[in-house]
Structure 1
Amino acid sequence: MLGLLIKDKIRWQDKWSAEIGQRFSIHDSTDNLFIFEDGCIREEIMAVIGKVPEGIYELFEVEAAPKDQCDYMADSGQCFDRTKR
């Protein structure tokens, strides 16, 4: 799965979140992280956020993780970890 971390919430625009929500299946989220469903492709996500200035976000691989190895806890209570590749 891919995760999109919003690193700069001040410069991030709500319209970008709205477009992501309309165009992609979101598996889970927090206030600053979207976890995309399997099958969402990096290139398609980048086509939507390609004009967002670098440094505002980070796109990376994530996987479900046990609570004791949790990098991110989503709103559902599910834990996710950055994939170590």
Structure 2
Amino acid sequence: MKGLLIEDEIRWLDRWSANLGAHLKTRDSSNNLLIFDGKYGREEILALIAEAPQDVYRIIDLEEAPEEDCDFMADSGICYRKLN
């Protein structure tokens, strides 16, 4: 699955998150990470945030992981590990 990691929360605009949420199913989230259903690819995500500067976010591959291998703890309590 893909995650969008917001690296600069000051420059990130809420409307970009709203646009993503309106068009793609969000599987999970945390303060600065949106986790998308596995059916969405990088290109679909990028198309919806085309006006966002590339240095304010990073798209990463994720998988669910046990707590000992956790890179991100989502609001749901599920742990995710970065694959790239």
TM value normalised by structure 2: 0.96
> Structure 1 vs Structure 2: percent identity of aligned residues?
46
Within 5 A, what are the aligned runs for 1:37-56? Answer: 37-56=37-56
Matched, 1:59 2:59: yes
Cα deviation, 1:7-36, whole Å, max 9, x if unaligned, reads 000000010010011000001000110000
1:80 and 2:80 correspond: yes
Matches within 5 A, 1:8-19: 8-19=8-19
* Structure 1 residues without counterparts, runs of 5 or longer: none
RMSD, aligned CA: 0.8
For structure 2, the residue ranges without an aligned partner over 5 or more in a row are: none
**Equivalenced residues, count:** 84
Deviation at 1:50, TM superposition (A): 1.8
Task: Please give the alpha-carbon distance, in whole angstroms, between the structure 2 residues aligned to 1:17 and 1:47.
Answer: 13
Query: Quick one: distance in 1 between partners of 2:14 and 2:60?
Result: 21
SS of 2:18's partner is: helix
Q: Give the Å deviation of 1:55.
A: 1.0
Residue 41 of structure 1 and its aligned partner are, at CA, apart by: 1.5
